[in-house]
Structure 1
Amino acid sequence: MPIRARTRADPSPYPPPAGGGGTRTERHANAIGPHALADLAVWALVEEAELTPKPGLVDRRGPGAHRDLDLETLRRSARALRSAFRAMAEVAQGRAPDQALREELAAIGRAGETRMMAATGGSNAHRGAIWALGLLLAGAVIAGPGDPCRIAGAAAAIAQWPDRFAPRHTSNGEQVRQAHGAAGARGEAQAGFPHVVAIALPALRASRAAGATEEEARLDALLAVMASLDDTCLLHRGGRPALQAAQSGACAVLAAGGTATPAGRAALQALDADLLSRWVSPGGSADLLAAALFLDRIDRSFAPWNA
C-alpha cells in the first residue's frame, strides 16, 4: 500500500468502519492492522531517509558521512523490513507486555536484521530503527493507535523485560553506552521514548503551527533531538567532541529560528559541513525521527476520534 505524506486537510487513510459501531478499541482494530502498521513503519523509514538536507546523514544529495550507505540502499533496507514489522504487529495482538513477548519480538527483529543485511550487501542501515519501531509497533497494537504517549508507554513496558536469548557479543552501541554513560537505544525505549514524544513530536507540531513546510518541520524535529540526545552513533565515530559539535550546532539552528529562516538554513549548512569534516553522522537521532514520524502519522490519522 503506497503511503504519501499528507497535509492536515487530507482525510485519514484508515477511516472508521461504516456505521461507526463498536467500542473505540474495536474501531481501532478494524481500522488499522498488522499490514497497515508495517506499511507505516516502512513509510517512516523512507520519509526519514529522503528528508533533505540532513546534517551528516544520507539524503537526496548523497551519502553524507557514509561510505557504505546511500539513499537507494536505505530504501531497499526499509522495504526488506516490511515482513518483520508485520510479524511484530501480529505477535503482539491480544498480548500484554511480558518477557515472552519481549523475546518473541527480539527474535523477529534479529531475523529482520538478517534480511536487512542481505538487502544492503552487509551494511547496517536500520538496526536501531528495527528496535525502536518494532517496540512501537507492538505498543500500538497493545495500546490502540492514537495517543503517542500511550503507545510509547506500552513499548516501554515491553522494553523493561530482559531477552534471555540475546546474542552475547557486545554491539557498538552498547560499548559506547558503557564507555560514555549514555542511555543508548535501550535506555531510550525503557524510559518511554522521551526524545520522541517530549521533544521530536512537539518540535514537529510547533514548526507546522508556525507555518513551516513539512520538510522544514521535520528538519526542526531532527535538530531538536540532536540538540539533546547523547547519540551513540556520534559518540562511536567521533567521541565527545563530535557529540558536542552536533548538539551545539543543532542548538544554533533552532536559536536562529529553525530551518524555515535564512539564518537557520545558514546554520544548518554550517553544521552539515562540520559533521562531514569530522566524518560523523547522527544516526541515533535519525532513528528517533523515523519513530516520531510513525507515531505522528498514526495520531493524525486518528485525530477525529481523539478529539
Structure 2
Amino acid sequence: MFTPRDRRLAETAVSALTDQLDLAPKPGLPDPRDPAARVTGHDHHALRWSAGAMTSGLTAMAAAARRTGEPSAALRAELGAIGRCTEHSLRLAGGGHRGALWTLGLLVAGAALTPSTGSDDITATVRRIAAHPDPGAPHRPSHGSAMSVRYGAAGARGEARAGFPHVRRALHVLTATRRSGAPETQARLDALLAVMASLRDSELLHTAGPSGLRQVHSEVQAVLEAGGTATPAGAAALAALDEALRARGWSPRGSAGLLAGALFLDALKSAGRNGNSQGAGSGRR
C-alpha cells in the first residue's frame, strides 16, 4: 500500500530529473539543444519519457523504506530488487537514467526514513543504507565497477557510501550562487560544474582515461574561475568546454545524475520552508 507521501517523494524526484534534463547548455550532456541525439547519442525526448517511467519504482522504494522503518540490510536488499525491476521499465521506455535511478532511489528512501527535510540528515541516512551489500546485485562487471577496480574511482557505490558528497557540494553551490543574485539557470549550471570539477566520473574514465578526466577537470575549473556561468567570461568558457566535449565524444554522465539528486534535496528543503514537509514538485524554475 502506497501513501500520498510515498507518491509525492517519487514525483518530486522525477521532477528534479526532468529539470536536470531541461537545463542547457550542459557541456557534453543531453539537453534540449540536441533533441535528435546527433551529438550525445541520447534522444532528449526519449530521456524525458523514460524519466516518467521511474515514478512507480521510486514510489515503491519510498514505501519500502517507510514500511521497514530503518536503514537495514533487509531494506537494502529490497531497494536493490525494486531498482532492477525499474531498470527494466526504463529500458522498455527508451533507456537511460541508470545513475540517476541509483542516486534518486537512495535519496527517496533516505527521505522516507527521515522526518527532517535537511540534506545532511537525509544523506546520513543514505550512508547507513548503502553500507549494506546488495545480495541480489549481478556479478557481471559494469563500466563503473571496472573503472573502480582499475583506477580506484569511488564510483556510484562509493558516492552513496560516503553520503553523496558531490550531491551536497552541488546543493551548496546552488544555494550560494542564488544568494549572489545569479539567475536560476546559471545557479544550476554552476552546481553541475562544481560536481564535474572533481568527480572521478566512471563514464569519462572509460572513454577518455585518467588523462582525459584530468583535462576535463581543468577545463571545468577554468569556467568556475572565470566567475561562473553568470559572467560573460564564464559563459564563453562554458561554450568552449561544451564544444570541446562534444567534439571529443566525452560525456560526464555521472555528474548529471548527481545534479538531479541535489535538485531533489533542494525541492524538499523548499517544501519544508513552505510548510509542506511531505514533499513537493521541483522547487524553482
Q: Which amino acid aligns with 1:128?
A: G
Matched, 1:50 2:50: no
Distance 2:256 2:211 in 1: 19
2:53 is matched with which residue?
A: 80
Question: For 1:94-133, what per-residue CA distance to the aligned partner results, in whole angstroms no more than 9, with x for missing partners?
Answer: 410111100100100000000000111xx4x111111111
- What CA deviation, in whole Å up to 9, does each residue of 1:76-100 have, x standing for no partner? 1110110000000011114101111
1:260 alignment partner AA: A
Farther-moved stretch of structure 1 (286-295 vs 169-178): 169-178
Equivalence map 1:2-13=2 (5 Å): none
Matches within 5 A, 1:133-212: 133-197=104-168, 199-212=169-182
Structure 2, unmatched stretches of 5+, are: 277-285
The corresponding residue for 2:243 is 273
Question: Which residue is 1:14 aligned to?
Answer: none
Query: Is the Cα–Cα contact under 8 Å of residues 51 and 59 in structure 1 kept in the other structure?
Result: yes
Q: Distance in 1 between matches of 2:210 and 2:268?
A: 35
Tell me, yes or no, if the aligned pair for 1:147 and 1:299 is still in contact at 8 Å.
Answer: yes
Deviations 1:37-95 (A, max 9, x none): 1101110110111100000000011137422x121111011101100000000111141
| Cα drift, residue 264 of structure 1 | 0.2
Counterpart CA distance in 1 for 2:115 and 2:189 is 28
| Cα-to-partner distance string for 1:219-276 (whole Å, 9 max, x where unaligned) | 0000001001111111111111321122111111110110000000000011111111
Residue 194 of structure 2, aligned match among 211, 221, 224: 224
Alignment of 1:287-298 (within 5 A): 287-298=257-268
Aligned to 2:64: 91
1:104 to 55, 60, 78: 78
Which residue number in structure 2 is paired with residue 15 of structure 1?
A: none
For 1:84, the aligned partner's letter is G
Give, in whole Å, the separation in 1 of the partners of 2:66 and 2:272: 19
- Unpaired segments ≥5 residues, structure 1: 1-29
Secondary structure in 1 matching 2:26: coil
Give secondary structure in 1 for the equivalent of 2:160.
Answer: helix
State how far apart, in whole Å, the 1-side matches of 2:23 and 2:221 are: 19
CA distance in 1, matches of 2:45, 2:115: 33
**In 2, Cα distance between equivalents of 1:241 and 1:266:** 24
TM-score, normalized by length of structure 2?
0.92
Determine helix, strand or coil for the equivalent of 2:197. helix
TM-score normalised by L of structure 1: 0.86
Q: Do the aligned partners of residues 64 and 132 (structure 1) sit closer, same or farther apart at CA in structure 2, a change above 3 Å counting?
A: farther
Tell me how far apart the structure 2 counterparts of residues 52 and 81 of structure 1 sit (CA, whole Å): 22
CA distance in 1, matches of 2:48, 2:82: 20
State the AA in 1 paired with 2:65.
A
Q: Which has the higher contact order (CA 8 A, sep 6+)?
A: 2
Q: What root-mean-square deviation, in Å, do the aligned CA atoms of Structure 1 and Structure 2 show? A: 1.5
Residue number among 118, 124, 127 corresponding to 2:92 in the alignment: 118
Determine if contact 1:54/1:272 at 8 Å carries over to the other structure: yes
Does the CA-based 8 Å contact 1:34-1:87 persist in structure 2?
yes
Give the 3-state SS of the residue equivalent to 1:33 in structure 2.
helix
Shift of 1:300: 1.2
Deviations 1:152-203 (A, max 9, x none): 1101100000111111111111111111110000000000011111x10111
